[in-house]
Structure formats: structure tokens, C-alpha cells
Chains A and B, each alone.
Chain A
Amino acid sequence: MTVTVEATDLGSAIDELEKRYPGFKDRLLDQQGQLRQFVNVYLNDEDVRLGAGLAAKVSDKDEISIVPAVAGGT
């Protein structure tokens, strides 16, 4: 599913989602506030772990995808 949020960076986008879907943030981030090992987040098709992580700046029309990491291969 796709939703639209107002935010300036990835971390605040996740906070916005938490407001709308309480409990969302705990599923996505670990106790240290880092992305959980088994979730991949992409900012416009780039894996955020390869870039600025949760601090990545976002602006209008940017697309954030949240996808389970457990997939593929053998």
C-alpha cells in the first residue's frame, strides 16, 4: 500500500507514520532506534543503508519504500 506523509528526513517520515499507525515505529526500528536488520528502506530506489540512513533528507515527490529483507536467493 502507498501513503503520503510530510517530512524533511527519513526519521521524521517514520515518526509521521507512527502517528497514523501506532506501533509502526517499533516494528521498523530496534531499541537503539536503528533500522531493524530484516527490513530494507529505499529512498527513490537507493538502499538508505548505502547512504545517510535515517538522517537522509527527503523532499516533495521523493518515494520511500519499506520492504522486508528476507527474500531471494538460496
Chain B
Amino acid sequence: MAKLLGLRCRECGAEYELQATHVCEMCFGPLDVVYDEAALKKKVSRERIEQGPSSMWRYRDLLPVEDDTPLVTLGEGFTPLVKADRLGAELGLRNLYLKNDSMNPTNSFKDRVVSVAISWARAHGFETIACASTGNLANAVAAYSARAGLECFVFIPVDLEPAKVVSISVFDPNVVAVRGNYDEVNRLCSQLLESTPWAFCNINIRPFYAEGSKTLTFETIEQLGWKLPDEIIIPIASGCQFVRHRQAIRELIDYGLVRDDRVPALTGAQALGCAPVYNAFKSDTPERVLPVKPNTIARSIAIGNPSDGIYVNRIVLETGGVVEAVTEDEIVAAMRLLARTEGIFTETAGGVTIGVLAKLARAGRWKGDEVVVAYVTGHGLKTADVLASVDGHARRVEIEPTLKSFREKVNI
């Protein structure tokens, strides 16, 4: 029996057959995958998951591929959840955890969504994979397309960080560098859909793609011993993954994988240089998210017109979370803080998440014993240039290769 029943509009409930489409024809609302929940309730169990592979595919039952669909995988997911005692000590948190998703095959969270998207697309006959990207997605799409042997077109803003361009180009995709910002790239790709038979990961096959995000939360809860934390800090770009994390918690409860049904506070993190969801959250009309022109070093989450922004604020308010934002200096300071205390080098988007965590902790949001998790979604080498331009070597000394020189210059 097929477990995937179709697509359903999140706004008006209109139903569609399973196909590569992402928007409701009636109201333009987003489409979500509909599963046979009754069948899944009988099938899904902790034991079944724990016997699965050490990758996100241990949650295959809860992802939009059938049991016989060949997967396009590089072993993504099941990344470390580390207890952050040293960072926690600085912030007054005794139960702080970091989900280090920079440990994925292409060093970002995006491998989760892309593995699902390309598995689905290949199984449904697509020969070309495409995406609109701020960098990390293009990196994952290029790698997984190479893995699958499929043609690949990635659309990126022309001024993307050099390190990201290198790590995309090595997989030999067609790179289309668009003279515009991400929102303009995205719009172009939405317009291209009409005339190309391609699977755009985050556009026409977005309902399937987005589902991969859930595994980040599934894993976190499993790694906490199947216990829900008190709060999760999540970076917000389009808000797409934020929405899926709420759905993941709902599924964990519905399928009896956790015994508790106390939904964690879901808190969103943005850079002040691109904070449309934060702006709306702070206003009198949190569900009215107005677009902005992004201007931040946190390029991977610099989406000025976030498609799922209103859902983010709805979920934040429902779960008792907040949306907070940090300055450029706070982003870099947080990258350094995380590296210095926990040995984890994250990119600017991770600096946003840790920066918001630190800001909220210092403002007294927690008493200290709460279980708080922060999602670290990309590796620092992707945006190393922001550190190279500031004083990154405060403790560096240069010496002659002699004991004398060492003793003169280094205090030990």
C-alpha cells in the first residue's frame, strides 16, 4: 500500500494528486504532502527507527518516498547532538545542547532536504534538477545531482561568497549567476518553471523537499532519549524548515514516539540586516510579514520575502517562543564564542542562531535548568571571509626556530 495519499493546501484544504507542484490553484496557498496516518500509526515505532541506518533515512517511514523508491543518499543526517557545557556555563544554561548539522556531507542542513527532493524527482522521471539558492542549497543540489547522475542547474546571486562558489562548482553543475539578490533569483526561477521540465528543489517539488527538514527534529528528540526539550532555537530564512519542525513534533507525539505532549517553545533567529519575520513579530500584526531588502553577512538566510513567515509567527506564538534578531557584530562574536567554548566552527547563519541564544540567555529568558537546543546549520569554512577581515589572530606570535626566541616571545 502506498503511504503517500496526495497533496493538500495548507490554507483552503483543496486536495491534489501527488505531482510536482507546490501552489494551490485556488488560493496560491502552499501544498503539503498527505500521508496515510492510520497505516503509519501501526507501523512506526522507536524500535523500528533504532534499527534503521545511522542517517536521516532511519525516519524513512515519515518521509515522502515509498518503501521501494531508490534513494539518492550520501549518508546525510544523524549528526551529533552535543551537550554544550562550556557554552552553557557562559550563558547560565546547565542543559544546553547543540545539533551540529554542519557535519552533513556538504556541511549544511540542506543535505537533508535535497536527499529527499532528488530521490523523489529521480523516481518520478525528472532528468534535470535545479534550485534557487543562497549557496548552501546549490552546494547540496550540485553534489546530490552528481551522485544521482542527473543534469543540474543552480541559480545563485552573482555576489555569493567565493568559498561557496568553489564548493558548488567542483561538482560541475551549470551555474547561473544572476545579477540580483536571492529574492530576485527565486522569482526568476518561479517564472522559469512554466517553460522548463525541471525539478526545482525548492519550488515545484518543494512539498517533498521541505519534508526532509523534519529529520533534524526527529533526530534531536531521539538523541535526547526520546524526550522533548523545553525550547529549540532555529534560524529563519524562508521559514520553511521552521514549519516542518513544528510538524515533526506533532508527528512524534501522534505516533507515540514520545510520551510527553508538552510542545517545546520554538524560537526563531534572524539577522537584523534581514529580519522581516522579526519585524512582524515585534509589530501589532505578527501575521503581516512585509518584505525587506537584505543586507547582512548571514547570506545563507538572507531572504527578504519569506514565504512561510506568517506560519513562523503563528507557531512561535502558539508554542510560547519568540523571534529575536542580532547585529552583524553579534553574529561574528557568536561564531567566535561557539568556536572558543565548544570547538565548533559555524558559518554566519550559525552565528545568528548562537547570537540569538546568547542574547536571550543574557536577557534572563531561562532560569538555568531548562533543556535548550540550538540548531547549528552550516560550517564556518563556507563564510570564513567574515573572520579573515577582522582581527582573527589575537594570540598569534611569530618566532625564530630557536628555544631562545620561543622563551622571549611566549609566556607560558
Give Cα distance in the complex from A72 to B300, angstroms.
12
A56 to chain B, nearest CB (A): 15
- Whether B307 lies near A74 (C-beta < 8 A) is no
Give Cα distance in the complex from A69 to B244, angstroms.
18
A26 to chain B, nearest CB (A): 9
Q: Give the contacting residue for A73; candidates B184, B194, B239, B310; CB below 8 A.
A: B239
For residue A40, which residues in chain B have a CB less than 8 angstroms away from its CB? 187, 305
For residue A39, which residues in chain B have a CB less than 8 angstroms away from its CB? 28
A24 to chain B, nearest CB (A): 12
Task: Give A49-74 as 1s and 0s: 1 = Cβ < 8 Å from B's Cβ atoms.
Answer: 11000000000000001011111111
Q: Does B88 contact A (CB under 8 A)?
A: no
A57 to chain B, nearest CB (A): 20
Instruction: Name which of A36, A45, A69, A71 has the most chain B CB atoms within 10 A of its CB.
Output: A71
Q: Does B29 contact A (CB under 8 A)?
A: yes
Contact A70:B29 (CB < 8 A) given known A1-B194, A40-B305, A49-B291: yes
A64 to chain B, nearest CB (A): 13
- Whether A68 lies near B23 (C-beta < 8 A) is yes
Number of interface residues of B (CB under 8 A): 42
- Whether B189 lies near A71 (C-beta < 8 A) is yes
Q: Does B62 contact A (CB under 8 A)?
A: no
- Whether B241 lies near A38 (C-beta < 8 A) is no
- Whether A49 lies near B186 (C-beta < 8 A) is no
How many CB-defined contacts (below 8 Å) exist between A and B? Answer: 91
For residue A44, which residues in chain B have a CB less than 8 angstroms away from its CB? none
Give Cα distance in the complex from A73 to B28, angstroms.
17
Number of interface residues of A (CB under 8 A): 21
Give Cα distance in the complex from A45 to B11, angstroms.
27
Q: Does A47 contact B (CB under 8 A)?
A: yes
Q: Which residues of B contact A (CB under 8 A)?
A: 11, 22-23, 26-30, 109-110, 113, 132, 134, 137, 182-184, 186-187, 189-191, 194, 202-203, 206, 209-210, 213, 237-241, 290-291, 303, 305-308, 310
10 more A-B residue pairs beyond the given contacts A68-B22, A73-B303, A74-B202, with a C-beta to C-beta distance below 8 A: A36-B28, A38-B23, A38-B28, A39-B28, A47-B183, A69-B28, A72-B182, A72-B240, A73-B134, A73-B202
Q: Which residues of A contact B (CB under 8 A)?
A: 1, 27, 36-40, 42, 45, 47, 49-50, 65, 67-74
